[in-house]
Amino acid sequence: MKLYRHQYLLLLLLGLLFLGSSMTSKNTLDIEKRSRVQKDSAQFDLVYSREEWRPEQTALIICDMWDKHWCPTATKRVEELAPVMDQVVKIAREKGVFIIHAPSDVTDFYDGHPARERAIQAPKSAHLPPEIQSWCYWLDEDEQKSYPIDQSDGGCECEECSSYKAWSRQVEAIEIHDSDAISASGVEIWNLMGSRGIQNVMIMGVHTNMCVLGRPFGLRNMARYGKNVVLIRDLTDTMYNPKSWPYVDHFTGTDLIIEHIEKYVCPTMTSSALTRQEPFRFKGDNRLR
């Protein structure tokens, strides 16, 4: 069949448009966000939304996945989480997401590591939030009044544990590459994101009701200072003792915190967006699906 010049050019243009569309789809992250929107004084509706994120504008923060915790049951759950997290980190890194390892209190273990030096040497942000160096305990009074669990005993399920600094580094099962960053400083992490034009932030790690929410680089600060932040809700854990209010099992305690985050702090997602596999579930979580 003979093609005229203008027909050929039209087909060529359509082909280029198709190719560009395919490349855009391939090089973006398909994120399904889950939130809880208040319908009236007593009811929140689950709301799902989808977004396409550019990997080069996205960071993945691993919060306080230490090699050891003062609570043995917490240590065991970290050991169970870590290999799955490492898989997610590998996939995210390959897609172009910037990986930030944030093991609080022990970043000096990595002195001289290229990933640690990258965080230290990041250019100072021109728009550094005033309290980005500090813990954020509550976003507002509504969040504080609605907090769903009692963690005043430290959240340990064991009978004879006492708190002490048991950690010395990040758990080894999560690999750190020279191209990553290592920092637990809100200022350094904000500088890293600013110098790279990062607006989207995924956070996973432990413990949701403490460090993941409150650290200077945690969910509350990222949300209140304008980052498009989500919690990876299947790759986290809580410090919650079922003997404390509201007297539910440990994993339900985690779910209550996740619901709280979706209501008052930020949306959540699952690791399935990266792995294309079923969300992670702890072996000890025997609740009906």
The pLDDT tens digits for 196-224 are 999 999 999 999 999 999 999 999 999 99
pLDDT digits (tens, 9 = 90+) for 66-111: 999 999 999 999 999 999 999 999 999 999 999 999 999 999 999 9
Q: What is the CATH number of the domain that holds 164?
A: 3.40.50.850
Residue 54 domain flag: yes
Residue 15 domain flag: no
d(Cα 198, Cα 138) in Å, to the nearest integer? 24
pLDDT at 22 over 50: no
pLDDT digits (tens, 9 = 90+) for 174-198: 999 999 999 999 999 999 999 999 9
d(Cα 124, Cα 284) in Å, to the nearest integer? 44
Classify the C-alpha dihedral 95-86-280-170 as positive or negative.
negative
Chain mean pLDDT for the chain: 93
72, 259 Cβ separation under 8 angstroms: no
Residue 17 domain flag: no
217: domain range? 29-275
Residue 282 domain flag: no
Q: Quote the DSSP letter at residue 123.
A: P
Residue 280 domain flag: no
Q: Tell me phi and psi for residue 62, to 5 degrees.
A: -105, 110
Residue 110 domain flag: yes
Residue 289 domain flag: no
Mention every residue, 6+ apart, whose C-beta is less than 8 A from residue 132.
186, 187, 190, 216, 221, 225
Predicted structure pTM score: 0.91
Q: How many domains does the chain have?
A: 1
Residue 175 domain flag: yes
> How many C-beta atoms surround the C-beta of residue 111 within 10 A?
10
CA angle 266, 269, 275 (to 5 degrees): 155
